[in-house]
Each structure stands twice: as C-alpha cells, then as structure tokens.
Structure 1
C-alpha cells in the first residue's frame, strides 16, 4: 500500500485574498502553507511584504512555515544572533541560505535559531538526506524552478523528518509518490511552489487538485 505524506506544503502564498479558500481547504486536507520571506524582494510575486504576511498569519486555523531567503537566511546560518527576521505565527522555519549544502556549524546555527523562537527548523539538501536530526530536511534540486530530480532518495531509517520537492504538480504528484515509494509507516512531506502557480499567481485550484490526487 502506498505510504502517503503526513501533509502537503504549498509554498509561495502571497495574497491575503485567498485566505477563505485556504481555510476551507485546510479543513479537508493536511496542509502546511509556506511564506517566502525576503524584504529585499517584496516588489516581486511570491514575496509578500510585512503587512501582507501579518494579514495572512492572523487567520486562525492555518499551519504556516516561513521560508527565509536572502540576507536574513545567510545570517541565520552563519551568525544567528544577528538575524532580525520576524517569524512569529509560524510552526516551522526553512532557511534558504544557499545551494551548496550546509556545514555542521550552519546546521547547528539553524537549529539554535529555531529553538530560540520555539519552532522547528528546516534546511535543504540535494544529495540524499543527511542523518543530522537537529533539523528537518527538504530534498530539493529545484529551488523554486520546477526542475524534477533524476531520482528520489530514500529517507534514512530512524532518521530526521524529511520532505521532497522539485517539479511536483497536480498532473504528476501521484507518479512522484510511487517513485518515492516511502516504506510503510514513514513520516514525510512533499512541498511544491511553481507547480501550484498559474500565470505567476498562487492557484488554489491547483492546490486542491494536488490534495485530491494524493488523499482522494
């Protein structure tokens, strides 16, 4: 029997006008909504400004993760006491500090930052899953570009909480889950960004289509 993900993460929410639909969908399916946080890029889609983030996070009943990018992500990974990013209202924080992996010191700094704020910490990996259990690990070779990996790594037995990202969309998510082939009882999540956008806009219809394909 196919082992389904514990929840689906939809990253790139940038419009408070979608909150009613998000709330309805969250009553039917296990979802984590992801906010991309980088105040240097709020002029771009995907990166809501501080006011929009506050309006989104004020809605009760939604599970949120902050995906911190840019200078604040680099500070968290390398000098966390200097980081000033506001992550109040989320339950996990993903630190997108670069595309070349994380050193043991950066893993420790990221874990420390999460503990300081009472949330779980996440880092990306692109060459299999590390066994370091101080943080959650997202396998991602795409970095928001919609590129799928050549293969999906196995989650280490008795290892950290792990997730998968890269080119996942409504039309291929069922196939991706078959290729992941998570062992029975394995807890994991899947994350998607570009696969749930249409014309550059976050698309709740695509989110629902993914949920239906996964959970029925």
Structure 2
C-alpha cells in the first residue's frame, strides 16, 4: 500500500566509527536534518561500527547532533539499575539496545530514568505496533543492524510517543519504503539506517548524501 508521503523529522545514520568522516559529516549536517548514531559497547570498541574512545571523544566535541546507541553490558546495566558509567557529553538522545524481546515496565522505567539523569530523551526498540508508553521514544526494529526489511510497518499516529523506523533502509529502498509508512496527521517520526549506508563494512558518506537527497529533496533513485 502506498500512502501520502510525509518526510521524517530527521535521519539517523548509525555506525560512525572514524574521525576522518568528520569534515563530511559537518558539511552534510549543514544541508540536511541529520542525527549521527554512535554505538557504545566496551567489548567491541575499535571494531567496525564501534568507535574507539579517542574517536568518540573527537565526535563528542564536534558541533553535531549525536545519539548514543548503547549496547552490551552498559545497556543491561541501564535497564536493570537505571545507571551506567558512560560519558555522554555532547549527545542529545540515547537509545538502549538491550535485547530483542521487548521491554518490561521496570526496564522502561529505568531507561527513562537514565535518560533523565543525562538530560536527554531515551528510546527503546519495539517489534510490533508502537507502544503508547510515553516515558520513552520507540524505534520499530526487527533488523538489529542486519539490513532485514520488514514486510509491514506499524502506523505512527498523533498522540503516540515519538516513533522511529529502521530495517533495510538505504539508497535503493528508502524512496519506496517511506511511501508505505502510515503517518497520521500531526504525527512525527524519524528513520534510522546502519548497514544500508556502509560499503564493504565501511561507513559511506556518499550513500548518506544520496539518501538525504531522496528523502528531503525528492530525488528518485
């Protein structure tokens, strides 16, 4: 089904892992509403997708819109205790990727508490209709960074918390996919992509620019 097109409030490009990307990120952010997603997991620091601490500090000091995507032990600590020893200076949003089985009431409460302590809004993932629980924002995610595109997408309706979509989005799919989203009057949403803007497992700013031109300038792939 194709619906009337409503552009997202912004695009999150997740998996920034190199400091040499910074000039291009700044240039692209000056043209489009972009959030750059930085993955946190101490067990994977320095691996593709997960920047080293030194690279992360360079990013945190830049005038960019950043979101912290927290994985691994730190994510588990947040949902269990509401706390984790992380330096999130410079981040305007935090996403806690703690598991694929949804979130319990206590996990939602602790995630919201952690975000409040950082002075930012927290987000959690969902795998069905967007929850009505407004303590956090919700990202529809059945892909978990693997590039799997869902067969159907939940509706974003006015009155729901801020909603996001991810899964199989990239230069070749974003034009058609966004026109399948059911976005109610007065509702806003964001989109998140990770594997779709990588080439040979390296973050590809040219793909980010292509996506932005399709989403915000109306160019067709």
TM-score class, shorter-chain normalisation, is: over 0.9
Please name the residue that 2:161 is paired with: 160
Output the CA distance in 2 between the equivalents of 1:117 and 1:56. Answer: 18
Separation in structure 1 between the aligned mates of residue 216 and residue 156 of structure 2, nearest angstrom: 21
Q: Distance in 1 between matches of 2:69 and 2:93?
A: 9
| 1:63 counterpart = 2:65 | yes
- The equivalent of 2:33 in structure 1 is 30
Higher mean C-alpha deviation, range 194-203 or range 85-94: 85-94
Name the SS for the 2:77 alignment partner: helix
| 1:137–1:162 contact (8 Å) kept in structure 2 | yes
Shift of 1:161: 0.3
Alpha-carbon distance in 1 for matches of 2:10, 2:98: 24
User: Are the equivalent residues in 1 in contact too, given 2:132–2:161 (CA < 8 A)?
Assistant: yes
For structure 2, the residue ranges without an aligned partner over 5 or more in a row are none
Is the 1:114–1:120 Cα contact (8 Å) retained in structure 2?
yes
Secondary structure, in 3 states, of the residue corresponding to 1:146? coil
CA separation in 2, counterparts of 1:128 and 1:35?
Answer: 26
1:34 alignment partner, SS class: strand
Q: CA deviation at 1:155?
A: 1.5
Which is further off, 42-51 or 161-170?
42-51
Q: C-alpha root-mean-square deviation of aligned residues, in Å?
A: 1.0
Quote the residue 2:106 is aligned against. Answer: 105
Deviation, structure 1 residue 49: 1.4
- Following superposition, which runs of at least 4 residues in structure 1 exceed 4 angstroms of deviation? none
Query: Is 1:75 aligned to residue 77 of structure 2?
Result: yes
- How far 1:2 moved relative to its partner? 1.5
Aligned counterparts, 1:32-51, within 5 A? 32-51=35-54
State the alpha-carbon separation in 2 of the partners of residues 10 and 51 from structure 1. Answer: 20
Residues 120-156 of structure 1: per-residue CA shift (max 9 Å, x gap): 1000000111000011100000000000111000014
> TM-score, with normalisation over the residues of structure 1?
0.97
Superposed CA offset, 1:19-68 (max 9, x none): 110000001000000000011101420001111100111112x1000000
Aligned partners of 2:81 and 2:110 also within 8 Å: yes
Aligned to 1:4: 7
- How do 1:1-216 residues align onto structure 2 when only pairs under 5 Å count? 1-60=4-63, 62-81=64-83, 83-216=84-217
